[in-house]
Chains A and B, each alone.
Chain A
Amino acid sequence: MSNRIVVSLSPHEKDDLNIEKIMWGVVIALAPAFLASVYFYGLHAVRVVALSLIFCVGIEYVIQKFVTKEKITAFDGSAAITGLLLAFNVPSSIPWWQLLVGSVAAIGVAKMAFGGLGKNPFNPALVGRAFMLASFPVHMTTWPVPLKNLWTLGADAVTGATPLGVLAEHGPANLPGYMDLFIGKIGGCIGEVSAAAILIGGIYMLYKKIITWHIPVFYLLSLAGFSGILWMVDSSKYADPLFHMLAGGAMLGAWFMATDMVTSPMSVKGQIVFAVGGGILCGAIRIFGSYPEGCSYSILIMNAFVPLIDKYTKPRRFGTEVNYEFPG
């Protein structure tokens, strides 16, 4: 090794923030949701999560090694996050090969085809889920009930409807109670059921400064606001806003999907616009659309608007707030 003096440009210091720290921070934030999913769905949840992780990380590794032949970054944590989020967005009885198809769509199409980390316009986990929902509608809408057959893989699952499914079919009567919704003792995709676990993870991410509060709070508030207005107009037809915030994938979407840094706007103003648009769309799809759940589509649609939002919501440049006048 040479001993020559090195010349480089300033700054000559770097803090220790790197991609791995951010990504693995999010993975840790997803741990409470994972534990909740195991509590409610037992081995099935473990199966789904393990398969999804192996598929997503594996597909990224294979593509980087054999197809693009570039530097291998499959283990930096971003593929793991996609794997976890994809797993959290499917029911616990999903067949393994459907999960594989979803992972290929998520990592191969939505992420690597656009150029890898940082270049994708759409949230990969949501693209994977949307692809699976369109391709395998039956399996993707068959939800085993929680706390049954936890430790017996392979046994026939007892299935039931999700709270949003009940709302769509039968209206706002006979909905599960708030406590069940908050803890997660309801039917649904394995990661979205427990609002409490997601909230813990979200607060952890806020503490570690991985995300800021604007997107989750504004998403949930605008969803609540939109559904709340309709509920106040006719509460026999529409569910109340607290129900909407806790049911379905709204919590998971607001805290983990909408906050994905690659696919969300770059300024605080833009993030608020993005979150408000997403919340309203989510409510609109749930109430007026033919799908019982609209969270994933609302975020995907707002992802498409992000370049436009970025263009028109630039941070205020220093020096534009002219507040000094010479006296006299």
Chain B
Amino acid sequence: MNLKTFKRGGVHPPENKFSAGVPIQPLGIPERANIILLQNLGAPSVPVVKKGDKVKVGTLIGKAEAFISSNLHSSVSGTVEKIDDVVGFSGYKTPAVIIKVEGDEWEESIDRSPDLVTDIELEPEAIVEKIKEMGIVGLGGATFPAHVKYLGSPDRKADTLVVNGVECEPYLTSDHRLMLEKADEIMVGIRVMMKAGRVDRALVGIEANKPDAVENMRNKAENYPGIEIVPLKVMYPQGAEKQLVKALLNREIPSGKLPLDVGCIVNNVGTAFAVYEAVQKNKPLIERVVTITGKKLKKTGNFLARVGSPSSMLLEAVGETMPEGTRKIIGGGPMMGKALNSIDIPIYKGTSGLVLVDEAETWRREPLNCIRCAKCVGVCPMGLEPYLLEKLAKKERFDACEAESIVDCIECGSCSYTCPSALPLLDYIRYGKTNVMRIMRERRQK
């Protein structure tokens, strides 16, 4: 059977989905929650609490004051200790609300019952407002404020909702487990998003290496009109937004444009689940499923973690200490994730997993000369020429970089992954990209 795919480029790193069979467990309550104020793309939330305030689970602690920003809610109950800088995912210190945890009291408005609420009572505008109020951001990793995608636009109308259940990164299994254990809730969440976006059709893309998830979702989808489950070829980066839309709908999003420009809205299955909880259960985004995994861990796991918990709690939860010889801690997946400074970095809305890397796999190979093998050109899903972009960026020829469409790069890492000379292609492409975007910004401001 020929599975749909994005046709050009891509690589197939070893899947290493060790934790695919481990059910989701609650992580537990931390002693202290460091809730970072910038947990979304765009502007950070502005704190609305101060030192000494008492908060419950679900209390609003940060407000979205810019167009592209999101609300922030407390994930624990206790007292606000201070608003101070902590080291975050970026490798730099960033402002956070630090809460000393006392008990586990939730806001009364949150429906904590396990019943499935299928009736969607709110109108589309109200749904969008609710998504904004509950601080929902894209849980695929980009943390884009979800409500902005549904605000709509007079000249562009969507006809399809694309749901990303691909999880193409190696090691990560949080979306997989969600689709196995919470498929009904995800389906209702998708119906909610369809109503908000005023579309009649939803396509859920799932990579074919999760046949149990495909089957489970297919069974559940029969009860919900308009939702189609589409298994996709196992190829990285199948889950990248542009590639997913190409695979499912055969529409190419032009450079610099959004999915709405080709008539669709894209969201992750985790976001669908969060939307269900927000709209149907009145629960803000305060926890999410995080995978803890690594080749040297005897046990791996998927945990429902409260935002602000230290990542070290994940390791304790699988009953382990840091394995001997661990030299790298990756937040996210190994292809696009960020190497963290330590295991104590607090979990935030965008944390999909934690991968512990052993000494043997930590170090990069020594780069050699480019042998012009064109493998990087062959694997680039965006049709770029990484060898050329790297050369131009190294020489700081940013005008030439711009002419070669360097801003189209989605930073998937396929080129660096495959280069036989182990050249740091993506490092220099990113360097060139940030400089070109700075030049473009300066040009617009003139």
Contacts and interface: CB of A to CB of B under 8 A. Distances in A.
A–B contact via C-beta, under 8 angstroms: yes
Interface of A: 3-15, 17-19, 21-22, 73, 78, 115-119, 261-264, 266-267, 314-324, 326-327
A313 to B, nearest CB: 11
Nearest to A2: B327
A12 B369 contact: no
Contacts of A263: 372
A118 B341 CA distance: 37
A78 B365 CA distance: 19
B209 interface: no
Contact of A10 (B341, B404, B422, B426): B426
Nearest to B14: A13
Contacts of A22: 371, 373, 420
A117 B361 CA distance: 27
Nearest to A321: B252
Interface residues of B, number: 73
A269 B430 CA distance: 27
Contacts of A73: 368
Contact of B420 (A10, A12, A18, A323): A18
B363 A19 contact: no
Nearest to A119: B369
Contact of B385 (A5, A7, A14, A315): A315
Given A19-B368, A117-B368, A118-B372, A13 B157 contact: no
Nearest to B156: A326
Which are the 8 A-B pairs with shortest beta-carbon distances?
A: A11-B413, A118-B369, A319-B254, A318-B382, A324-B262, A12-B334, A266-B374, A261-B373
B30 interface: no
A261 B373 CA distance: 5
A11 B159 CA distance: 35
A324 B156 CA distance: 12
Interface string B412-436: 0110111111101011001000000
B243 to A, nearest CB: 8
A223 to B, nearest CB: 23
Given A11-B416, A21-B420, A266-B377, A118 B335 contact: no
B252 A322 contact: yes
Contacts of B157: 326
B405 interface: yes
B381 interface: yes
Contact of A11 (B336, B368, B383): B336
